[in-house]
Structure 1
């Protein structure tokens, strides 16, 4: 039985964060073993001369970090053996399952043919530097210059020296977070956000704070309050439809987020993987706060999934940090894929595929509107998915499981939950991962389940 106890002399403001950090260090150092029962909130508050609310927030922070678990009626326990989070998508498509869980663009034989043609061109035109060099500065200057032109299509003016090529958006956002959020710091984000942020925060050692959202995205006042009460170092946002709720943040809200970030001198990480796919959208948040925004975009969800290449544009103050973190985590983007992306941007193929994708997605949004007629859901005309809130009396887990039993895979909304605030059950449904016929059939199953008797569905499971 451990005798370790938090030291009140080491508690700094904000107190709950400092207390949580003490517990985290004790757990990591082995001074608190797995399964150890922690003091009750009131007892620890009395011992440390803190409020019960402060201790409760510290325990909630430790739960969010995956270091302890709270069991109603039993107490709080150290939990060092963590289960890996489940992905929101079906890991492998089996049998005749209609997979509406994974977010991907519409693909037809034409896309494979374009890639084959590009690989044939590459075989004849491959520069020696892309095949033989280990030095990023020997490979990528030409690609960065082309990236400048693509970012203009995304609504952003950036200098070639400020752009890093990455192996897609995931690598870009990871490098961006490593560059602005050292271990122990806190990153704010939308309460319903990117599904990899929670495990990524755990792996990189920073804290994640989910903030309230509305129909226009992250609420600026919530970010301002969080910055006043906590040591927020950065805010991660997905303002342009790629977020789970398919929200397109308007220009005024983007400007307000930029103003709050500037007021508190925090970094902004903007995930904009759909780029020019979303027509008539406002300028990126990066355009309102270019001096502090790390902007991430890529080609995988708007052209061909196999074109795993992206751009990370960083302001001057972060360029060196981005370069160093990218070197140690990836060394450099894959040169052969970069060659294809640069060719496609230069000869217009990339934008041609974007326009094709936009038209295909609009047809599928029409299918969704037809099959889900009378059902309230959130979507955007150029989006890859819809966000469907379930009736309050419906179990999200049961609904997803029943759909799976009927041959349709959908993503549970809780996979995207960042905040511990009250939750309304919902599901995310991808529109691009199947044929139009399969999509229609899959949405038909969802509609029947939605209009069915929830008690009957529960018994069926």
Structure 2
């Protein structure tokens, strides 16, 4: 058994989370090695003068973070050599299934033609720097300047020198997290949040805590309390509709969260991949706390999926860290894709596609409201999905499985669960991943399942 022990003087409320954070830091610092056996729940509780339930919750939190493995009859052991989790994305489904699980923009043959035309233009207009240079500072000054113009459409004024061109939002959020959350630190986020954050936290070595939310997003008091009692270094937030529950955070809540972040001197990572698609919204969090917010946006969900390019705007204090971490993890964004994005922003094509997308998703939300008449769900008129809480008599796993048996793929809500707080079963349904007729048919299946006899449905699985 290890000689290292947590320091009871450092335990803050909530005690289980503070205790788990101490163990996590010891594991990351090498004071606890892979395979070491931890004290029993009872022994550690007696030693620290805590309840057994508190120690049990701390161990459960460590297991959730992938740092500890519990073995029945043997005890709890440090697990630094972690098994690979299941892929954090939902796989593409075969053509015979109506796929409402993958979050995609509405696409028609026009989008493919637009991209083909852009590639034809690129063949004639490709600059030598984009084809031949290995130096990001040689390739991207013009792209960053145009990126600053695009960010104005997102409600953000920023200097081109503070912009990094990325291969989409995933690369941008990863670099942002690497820049502000060192291994062993803790990042706060929505209790129902981004589905890649949990595995990303494991890979990068930071801890993740899901905070309570309401119809306006993260509760400011919950963030304040977490910052007081844990090693919170950053908050990752999706305030504008792309979050699973389709919440659009208002300006008052954004200002409140910015004030809490400023009070505790934590960074904010704002994931705003829908950008100007959401027509009526408050300014970005980066507007309320520009000195500490790393803002991420991209084009793939609002123009064409193949245009995997985006922008990461960072305040002065993080510019060097962002540049260095982007270099070591990506070197630079793909120049030829960046050329197309820059052309489309400059000539107005990108905004034209955004406006087209906005009208398309609004038509699909009308379809959803018609087919799901009488069913409670949450959506935004400019969003790409809806969030559908299930009745109390339906199991999430069973409902998703039954829909799949009837030819419809939907995303289980638990895929987006960050917090261990009590859970209400729900599903996320994409509005843009199929044709309108397939969407109507798929939503019809969901409606019939919701209105059917749950005992009969259980027998059918």
Match of 1:433 in 2: 433
Query: What is the correspondence of 1:126-275 to structure 2 with a 5 Å cutoff?
Result: 126-275=126-275
Query: What is the correspondence of 1:12-27 to structure 2 with a 5 Å cutoff?
Result: 12-14=10-12, 15-16=18-19, 17-22=21-26
Match of 2:34 in 1: 30
Match of 2:422 in 1: 422
After TM superposition, the structure 1 stretch with the greater mean CA deviation from structure 2, 220-229 or 61-70, is 61-70
Q: Is the 8 A contact 1:276 1:354 kept in 2?
A: yes
Deviations 1:144-178 (A, max 9, x none): 11011100000000000000000000000000000
Match of 1:329 in 2: 329
Q: Is the 8 A contact 1:278 1:382 kept in 2?
A: yes
- Looking at structure 1, the residues matched to 281 and 102 of structure 2 have their Cα atoms a distance apart, in angstroms, of 24
- Looking at structure 1, the residues matched to 142 and 27 of structure 2 have their Cα atoms a distance apart, in angstroms, of 49
Do residues 121 (structure 1) and 125 (structure 2) align? no
State TM-score, norm by structure 2.
Answer: 0.94
- Looking at structure 1, the residues matched to 92 and 363 of structure 2 have their Cα atoms a distance apart, in angstroms, of 26
Match of 1:6 in 2: 4
Gaps of 5+ in 1: none
After TM superposition, the structure 1 stretch with the greater mean CA deviation from structure 2, 50-59 or 214-223, is 50-59
Do residues 299 (structure 1) and 299 (structure 2) align? yes
Match of 1:109 in 2: 109
Offset of residue 50 of structure 1: 4.4
After TM superposition, the structure 1 stretch with the greater mean CA deviation from structure 2, 39-48 or 244-253, is 39-48
Match of 2:288 in 1: 288
After TM superposition, the structure 1 stretch with the greater mean CA deviation from structure 2, 175-184 or 38-47, is 38-47
Q: SS at the partner of 1:233?
A: strand
- Looking at structure 2, the residues matched to 386 and 117 of structure 1 have their Cα atoms a distance apart, in angstroms, of 33
Offset of residue 26 of structure 1: 6.4
- Looking at structure 2, the residues matched to 289 and 81 of structure 1 have their Cα atoms a distance apart, in angstroms, of 36
Offset of residue 333 of structure 1: 0.4
Q: SS at the partner of 1:414?
A: helix
- Looking at structure 1, the residues matched to 252 and 175 of structure 2 have their Cα atoms a distance apart, in angstroms, of 28
Gaps of 5+ in 2: 13-17
Q: Is the 8 A contact 1:277 1:302 kept in 2?
A: yes
Q: Is the 8 A contact 1:11 1:19 kept in 2?
A: no
Query: What is the correspondence of 1:310-329 to structure 2 with a 5 Å cutoff?
Result: 310-329=310-329
Q: Is the 8 A contact 1:11 1:18 kept in 2?
A: no
Count, aligned residues: 454
State TM-score, norm by structure 1.
Answer: 0.94
Offset of residue 87 of structure 1: 3.7
- Looking at structure 2, the residues matched to 406 and 27 of structure 1 have their Cα atoms a distance apart, in angstroms, of 52
Q: Is the 8 A contact 1:24 1:62 kept in 2?
A: no
Match of 2:15 in 1: none
Match of 2:83 in 1: 82
Offset of residue 73 of structure 1: 9.3
Match of 1:447 in 2: 447
- Looking at structure 1, the residues matched to 32 and 308 of structure 2 have their Cα atoms a distance apart, in angstroms, of 36
Offset of residue 367 of structure 1: 0.3
CA RMSD of aligned residues (A): 2.0
Match of 1:68 in 2: 68
Deviations 1:238-276 (A, max 9, x none): 000000000000010000010000010000000000000
Q: Is the 8 A contact 2:4 2:32 kept in 1?
A: no
Q: Is the 8 A contact 2:26 2:32 kept in 1?
A: no
Deviations 1:202-222 (A, max 9, x none): 000000000000011111110
